[in-house]
Amino acid sequence: MTAELGQIALILALCLTIAQAVFGLVGAARGWDNWMAVVRPATVGQAGFVVLAFLLLASAFLANDFSVQYVAMNSNSQLPTLYRVAAVWGAHEGSMLLWATILALWSCAVALLSRSLPLAFASRVLAVLGIISAGILLFILLTSNPFIRLVPAPFDGNDLNPLLQDPALAMHPPILYTGYVGFAVAFAFACAAMIEGRLDQAWARWTRPWTTVAWLFLTIGITLGSWWAYYELGWGGWWMWDPVENASFMPWLAGTALIHSLAVTEKRGLFRSWTLLLALFAFSLSLLGTFLVRSGIIVSVHAFASDPLRGVFILGLLALFILGALTLYAWRAGQLRSSAGFELWSRESFLLFNNILLVIAASLILLGTLYPLLLALMKLGTISVGPPYFQLVFLIPVIPLVTLLIVGMHAAWKRARLAPVKRRLVSIALAGVIAAVLLSLTFGGRPRTLVFVGLALAVAAMLSALSVPFDHLRRRVTIPRGVLGMSVAHFGVGLFTLGATVASAYQVERDVSLGMGQSANVAGYDFRLTDLRSVEGPNYAAREADVVITDAGGRVVTVLHPQKRVYRVQQQPMTEAGINVSWRRDLFVALGEDLGNGVWSLRLQYKPLIRYLWLGSLCMALGGLIAATDRRYRIALARERVDTDTVAERA
Amino acid sequence: MRTIVRAACLSLLIIATARAIDTEPPLPDPVQQERYEALIHELRCLQCRSQTLADSEVSLAADLRREVRRLIAEGKTDAEVKSFLTARYGDYVLFRPPLNERTWILWVAPGLMVLVGGLIAWRVVRHRTKLVPSDAEEIDAGDSQS
Amino acid sequence: MKARFLIPALAVAVLFGFFWYALKGGDYDPQLIDSPLIGRPAPDISTVTLADAGRPLTSKQFLGKPFVVNFWGTWCVGCREEHPEFLAIAKETDVPIVGIDWKDDHPAAVAWLGQLGNPYDAVGVDDDGKIAIDWGVYGAPETFLVSAAGEVIHKHVGPMTVEAWRKDFVPRLAPGGGK
């Protein structure tokens, strides 16, 4: 019954989303309060049903109900419970249901936390979200139904792909989706504003916290994915510029530009056109990513099993949402002029450059990702655009970006006076250069300009970011959370740059063949293979090695236990690398092949400062969180609560 | 067939990751060895398409690495090694797209975008700077509110 | 509404047009890699036969008339699939079909052909993969058509079928070749 109930729940949810959309748009257009009053309950109701459907699917997994085809394809009775839950989003159908569930939850949040918004506007926002939800639910019901039965039911399931049987990767999709599906809220706010014909500073103030929260989840989601790739995929890489990774990075870049652009619109009513377009493009890029991953037109190990019918449907949804929104934009854009001014040296100026550079970065990645496809379609042959291209091309906008970040943080609105901060900036620049020299000397090797520049910028960015709260403390002024959040996030950018530059420039990787008791030396550390044994896991069997690592002074640093697992059901071999973490470096050992006669091949790596790039990203997310809880949003929230309390009292 | 190859590559991706791929001894000349390592990181494995020749453990990748090593040891330049491979597999094998009549857009785009971006920035700033005298809005001078 | 504000919508529409074409329009297959060998002289084959390691097998033996080269192996599932098709094709045509046993176990290959039938006019071995690399092979089975002039004129990736033979190979044979 569970599967059938799940399907019914989805159908009911679909009906409610349609109500949400229709009542919202018509009610707002006509000013019918009683119609608009339906929208919030409808939203909460559809969210309830979608969540119910999700829980029903999860319960099918937990109960090992292999009569449900999706469960049979992705689970197994030996699968540990945690991964049975994660298997819910392990393949296309379930992950689309997760997509829909997260969208429903965001819509619900908007419904419940938007009482301070004018009713017509809120109704329109929810209506747009309703249209998107309806599209996704239709897609699920018509092409990607996770509740289809498999008759006769198999005795046991196919097991979850072993790659996904990992805590970090299990959490990666929900967090990632919370991020880029969350951009739908900004999209809806933008559409509502265009429908109403009004986009002002108040609109920016409403939109900002929603966007920042979505952005910070996306940041964490991408970070998790990168960290997982590093420790699970065994070759020590953390970003492959794979089309699907790019598909999540482009919305992130657009989202970053958006939150900065919103700042200008909120403060000075400027850049409204930009902000609007960015709000539309952030979510559009998310949808584009969804399309690329599931339509089969791009080859990627990340891609879900493809089906042209699904591809066509998603393309249809994309066309409806994106072209619809852009048409609205074309209609309203002419009305968005403002007469505010700013000097060349001003915060607005810096944020303008910031916007442009981030859009360039996103556009270049989009071009590189789609170019092979476009060439192939025009029968011009097949080419590849891979990491060497992206790495090079990405630096072109990003180096100026980080440079501007260092200075821009200290620029005031409208007319910035750089004289007071000049001395500080010069000392920061100097400190950056000195730090770069010291780091280059520490790590040795050939001096490389790019590495030097990266190091200097990274340290300067961190110092520049720290100087802002430091300044506030010195002047004994309370620091608003918006400013603190900015400082923490920008500090994170510097930290990330430091980790990425050092790890890429100074890492050492060696492939060796070791017999028992033999050792190899990497970056001054001695790796010795001392033992090899068999171990049994819940759903796998493994060969485990002991590798003793001693440092240059002869002291034992650690003993690592890399494993080579074979998962019983899918008969897939998998690596579990052994990693020793410290604040200075990671030491990384992965088992390769049994070469016979007790000799194994191993990959040994030395990765200096690599943790900093994930720590930096998490700092960025933390900064976003701090900024989103700024006083002005909490006041609005509290006012809402007072209103509802008063209403409750009177009732 | 494709699903089988894809499944094989996915599973090999899993094994491959652990790999210590190159069990061959390094080239005697360290400069050549460095060139070899750089090259195999820029070449695509034709079977497991998401991986470089350096990271893939399929036998085709091992054969191709062997060819690359042989060519370098014979004294061929990087360009010659690349054209050996593109003559057989096309430009697809290069992760760094070449510069030719089909791909010039890729290589011109960054500079072009920066130029266009700069132009836009200049126009906007010029316009807004002109508006400053007529813009009566007072912004709190000490305000660093973000 | 100023026209220039429609530019984003138009640009996106064009992009979607490409995607639509990719999904529905032509014969776009993201897995296929274009072969640079088409229209160029066929790479030399110089090896020995599967049955007799002492007997040489070279492409020169077949030049002057159209011939087919098929890369296969006993380890390859698609090759197993296409084998009966090749037997049928061999019956249909006079065009020599040269098999190249790619990175395979020789006795197993001999037994395989013995058990399932041998559609090949000659079978060579490629133990180190060099021939496959020269022909730009990236996944067995792959089948090439070489013209009488010695140029590669067609490549078929994946299991061969009689239908593909008739549709793609036969029309490309010089008049007089094939039945």
pLDDT in tens, A172-207: 999 999 998 999 999 999 999 999 998 889 999 999
3-state secondary structure of C47: strand
What's the DSSP call for residue A516? Answer: T
pTM: 0.91
DSSP single-letter state for residue A539: S
Residue B142 has what pLDDT? Answer: 41
- The whole-angstrom separation of Cα C177 and Cα A177 is 59
- The complex scores an ipTM of 0.87
Give tens-digit pLDDT for B44-83. 998 888 888 888 878 898 899 999 999 999 999 999 999 9
What is the domain partition of chain A in residue ranges? 1-165, 174-335+345-406, 418-505+613-651, 508-608
Residue A367 to chain C, least CA–CA distance (Å): 11
Q: Which of A125-129, B48-52, B133-137 has the lowest mean pLDDT?
A: B133-137
- pLDDT at position A381 over 90: no
- Chain A, nearest residue to B86 by Cα: A383
Q: By the CB < 8 Å criterion, does C138 face chain A?
A: no
Predicted confidence at residue B141, as pLDDT, reads 42
Nearest CA among A148, A123, A103, A116 for reference residue A20: A123
Q: Closest CB to C28: pick one of A284, A329, A377.
A: A377
C-chain residues near A331 (CB < 8 A): 1
**Residue length, chain B?**
146
Query: A49-88: per-residue pLDDT in tens?
Result: 999 999 999 999 999 999 999 999 998 888 888 898 999 9
B31 touches A: beta carbon within 8 Å: no
User: pLDDT: is C37 or B21 the higher one?
Assistant: C37
The dihedral built from the CA positions of residue A445, A450, A451 and A457, taken in this order, carries a sign that is positive
Question: Which residue in A has a C-alpha nearest to residue C36's C-alpha?
Answer: A381
Short-list C159, C72, B114, C65, CA closest to A398 = B114
Q: What is the DSSP string of A583-651?
A: SSEEEEEEEEEEEETTEEEEEEEEEETTHHHHHHHHHHHHHHHHHHT-HHHHHHHHHHHHHHHHHHHH-
* CATH number corresponding to C35-172: 3.40.30.10
**Residue B18 is nearest to which of A380, A410, A592, comparing CB atoms?**
A592
A32-44: pLDDT as tens digits: 999 999 999 999 9
The CATH number fitting domain A1-165, selected from 1.10.3470, 1.25.40, 1.20.120, 2.60.40: 1.20.120
Tell whether omega for the bond before A152 is within 30 degrees of 0, i.e. cis.
yes
Give the number of B-C residue pairs with CB atoms closer than 8 Å.
50
- Distance from the C3 Cα atom to the nearest Cα atom in chain A, whole angstroms: 8
pLDDT of residue B143: 43
Query: Which residue in chain C is spatially nearest to B86 when comparing CA positions?
Result: C36
Number of H helices and E strands in chain C, helices first, is 5, 7
> Chain B neighbours among A 247-276 (CB < 8 Å)?
263, 267-268, 270
B19 to chain A, any CB pair closer than 8 A? The answer is yes
Domain B2-93 has CATH 1.10.1660.10: no
B66 shares contact with chain A (CB less than 8 Å): no
Average pLDDT of A417-436?
A: 91
Q: Do B50 and A602 touch (CB under 8 A)?
A: no
A242 and B CB contact within 8 Å: yes
> Which chains are adjacent to chain B, needing at least 3 Cβ pairs under 8 Å?
A, C
| Average pLDDT of span A238-262 | 94
Q: What is the mean pLDDT of chain B?
A: 81
Query: C133 vs B88: CB contact, 8 Å cut-off?
Result: yes
Question: Can you give the pLDDT at residue A229?
Answer: 87
Contact state of B88 with C135 under an 8 Å Cβ cutoff: yes
Closest CA to A482 of A268, A205, A227, A288: A205
> How many Å is the Cα radius of gyration of chain B?
25
Size of chain C in residues: 179
- Predicted confidence at residue A301, as pLDDT, reads 67
Residues of chain C contacting A327 with CB distance shorter than 8 Å: 6, 9
> Which chain C residue has the Cα nearest residue B63?
C129
**Contacts with A15 (C-beta within 8 Å, 6 or more apart), sequence order:** none
Q: Return the residue of A nearest to C7 by Cα.
A: A330
Q: Which of C103, C130, C134 sits opposite B59 (nearest CB)?
A: C103
Count of CB pairs separated by less than 8 Å, A with B: 202
The yes-or-no verdict on residue C146 having pLDDT over 50 is: yes
DSSP state for residue B11 in the 8-state scheme: H
Chain B CB within 8 Å of residue A602 CB: yes
pLDDT of residue A446: 82
> A205: which 2 tokens?
């103030």
Does residue B135 have a pLDDT over 90? no
d(CA C32, CA C142): 12
Burial (CB count <10 Å: 0-12, 13-18, 19+), residue A426: exposed
C19 contacts on A by Cβ (under 8 Å): 291, 295, 297, 311, 315
Nearest CA in chain C to A298: C30
Residue-range domain boundaries for chain C: 35-172
For A80, the 3-state DSSP assignment is coil
| Mean of pLDDT values over A111-116 | 90
Cα separations in angstroms, B56 against A163, A243, B68, C131: 17, 18, 15, 20
Q: Which residues of chain C neighbour B51 with C-beta distances below 8 Å?
A: none
Spatial distance between the Cα atoms of A646 and B11, rounded to a whole number of angstroms: 61
For residue A47, the distance in angstroms to the closest alpha carbon of chain C comes to: 31
Strands C122-126 and C97-102: parallel
Q: Does C114 touch chain A (CB under 8 A)?
A: no
